[in-house]
Amino acid sequence: KQEVTQIPAALSVPEGENLVLNCSFTDSAIYNLQWFRQDPGKGLTSLLLIQSSQREQTSGRLNASLDKSSGRSTLYIAASQPGDSATYLCAPNTGNQFYFGTGTSLTVIP
């Protein structure tokens, strides 16, 4: 069974900092990996999708990398803003199922 671990569990940073969120997974046989954002009491918003053949994907201030062989992905957020405060979830996809970690809760302090 795929196990997903996200480190750190919680992170508090001042506005403007660059930060890295880490995700590791135990089964490297994935089709892709998706990063989501979840605001309190809300649904999941897709941030980035990385295919298994890709090394990284960028969208605005966000950059996600994938090292499938070592079972790792990182989400890099540049110049963080208070509006980035949320829980970030990574989810490797093995075909019919996404597997989720418990996420990293990010607080960006103005």
Partner 1 sequence: NAGVTQTPKFQVLKTGQSMTLQCAQDMNHEYMSWYRQDPGMGLRLIHYSVGAGITDQGEVPNGYNVSRSTTEDFPLRLLSAAPSQTSVYFCASRRPGTTEAFFGQGTRLTVV
Q: What are the residues whose beta carbons fall under 8 Å from the beta carbon of 44, sequence distance 6 or more?
A: 36, 37, 38, 89
Q: What are the φ and ψ backbone dihedral angles of 69, each rounded to 5 degrees? A: -65, -35
Q: Name the residue type at position 40.
A: P
Within 14-53, the residues that bind partner 1 by CB under 8 A are 31-32, 34, 36, 41-46, 49, 51-52
Which one among 25, 68, 85, 98 touches partner 1, defined by CB under 8 A?
Answer: 98
Shortest separation between residue 38's beta carbon and partner 1, angstroms: 9
Instruction: Look at residue 84 and give its three-state secondary structure.
Output: helix
Contacts with partner 1, residue ranges (CB under 8 A): 4, 31-32, 34, 36, 41-46, 49, 51-52, 89, 91, 93, 96-103
